[in-house]
Amino acid sequence: MDMIDKFLENNVSLRGMLDTYLELRLHLQEEGYSQEELERVVRPTNKMIELSERFTSKKNSLFKQIKAYGFEINQGELFEYIQPLLNKIDDITPLKENGNNKRNDIGNEDY
């Protein structure tokens, strides 16, 4: 996936999707959610719904853009590429665990 890596490296659509995911994680922190609570969100806020829908829309748009440029990739392969980026955002925006929001790193690296 060398060519696609180069394509995605500075892709504005990918960056917009990651920014939306970061905004969602920050909102979840503000609301005091834990990772376990995300498995069954009973009463999502309007902002959670809006950010989740925006993230999905941006991810689908990125996939369409990749296909339009002629890259032969499926949704699973795209997910494999973006998952480590999402994990990094998760690391720098930890959710509540035993009443604490504790960073998993020193936080001086950008996603």
Neighbours of 36 (CB within 10 A): 10
> Would 105 be classed as within a structural domain?
no
Question: Does the pLDDT at position 78 exceed 70?
Answer: yes
Q: Which pLDDT belongs to residue 108?
A: 47
Task: Give the DSSP letter of residue 101.
Answer: -
For 1-59, what is each residue's pLDDT tens digit?
588 889 998 899 999 999 999 999 999 999 999 989 988 888 999 999 999 999 999 99
Domain count, the chain: 1
In a domain, 98, yes or no: no
Integer angstrom CA distances of residue 89 from 2, 43, 70? 23, 24, 29
Q: What angle do CA 17, 60, 53 make, to 5 degrees?
A: 65
SS3 103: coil
Residue 29 counted as domain residue:
yes
Average pLDDT, integer, range 84-91: 97
Q: For residue 76, give its domain range.
A: 2-92
Residue 82 domain-assigned?
Answer: yes
